[in-house]
Amino acid sequence: MAHLAHDQTCNLLAALPFPPPFVALPSLPKAASFVPPAPPFCVPQMASTYTQLAKVASKSTASRQFTLNDIENQPAAIRGGVTQITSELTKLQKDLQNNVTDKLKKLKESGLNDGNTPWTIEGKPDKGLTNITADIETIKTRDVKDVRDKLKELCTAIRMLAKDAEWFLNELKDGKIGEQLKQIRDEIDKLHGRLVDGPIKDLRALLRFIDNGKAQIIRDLHAFVDKEIKEAEDTLINEARRQCVSNVKELLKLFAQKVEEELNPLPPLITEDLQMGYKGFMYDFQQRFVTHISL
Confidence of residue 223 (pLDDT cuts 50, 70, 90): very high
pLDDT, mean of residues 75-81: 72
Residue % of the chain over a pLDDT of 70: 54
Instruction: Specify the higher pLDDT residue, 76 or 63.
Output: 76
Confidence of residue 70 (pLDDT cuts 50, 70, 90): low
CA distance 135 to 141: 10
Helix (H, G, I), strand (E, B) or coil at 249: helix
pLDDT of residue 74: 63
pLDDT of residue 66: 47
Confidence of residue 286 (pLDDT cuts 50, 70, 90): confident
**Residue 64 region, left (φ>0) first, then alpha (ψ -120 to 50), else beta?**
left
At residue 143, what are phi and psi to the nearest 5 degrees?
A: 60, 15
CA distance 120 to 111: 8
- Provide CB contacts within 8 A for 20, sequence distance 6+: 13, 81, 85
pLDDT of residue 79: 73
pLDDT of residue 228: 94
* Residue 146 scores a pLDDT above 50: yes
Selection from 142-156, 223-237, 279-293 with the highest mean pLDDT = 223-237
pLDDT, mean of residues 269-285: 79
Cα 213 to chain centroid, rounded: 59
Q: Could you read off the pLDDT of 151-177 as tens digits, one per residue?
A: 888 888 888 888 878 777 777 666 666
Alpha helices (runs of H) in 97-176, residue ranges in sequence order: 102-106, 128-141, 144-174
pLDDT, mean of residues 95-106: 70
Straight-line distance from the first to the last Cα atom of the chain, in angstroms, rounded to the nearest whole number: 217
Residue by residue, DSSP assigns 56-91 as HHHHH-TTS---HHHHHHHHHHHHHHHHHHHHHHHH
Q: E strands along the chain, which residues?
A: none
Residue % of the chain over a pLDDT of 90: 13
What is the residue extent of each domain of the chain?
77-120, 126-189, 198-268
pLDDT of residue 101: 72
Taking CA atoms, 101 is separated from 27, 95, 111, in Å, by 42, 9, 14
* Residue 237 scores a pLDDT above 90: yes
CA distance 263 to 215: 71
Q: Is the Cβ–Cβ distance between 104 and 39 less than 8 Å?
A: no
Q: Could you read off the pLDDT of 128-145 as tens digits, one per residue?
A: 555 666 667 776 666 667
**Residue 107 region, left (φ>0) first, then alpha (ψ -120 to 50), else beta?**
alpha
CA distance 95 to 160: 65
* Residue 6 scores a pLDDT above 50: no
Selection from 2-16, 69-83, 185-199, 241-255 with the highest mean pLDDT = 241-255
Q: How high does pLDDT run on average in the chain?
A: 70
pLDDT of residue 129: 59
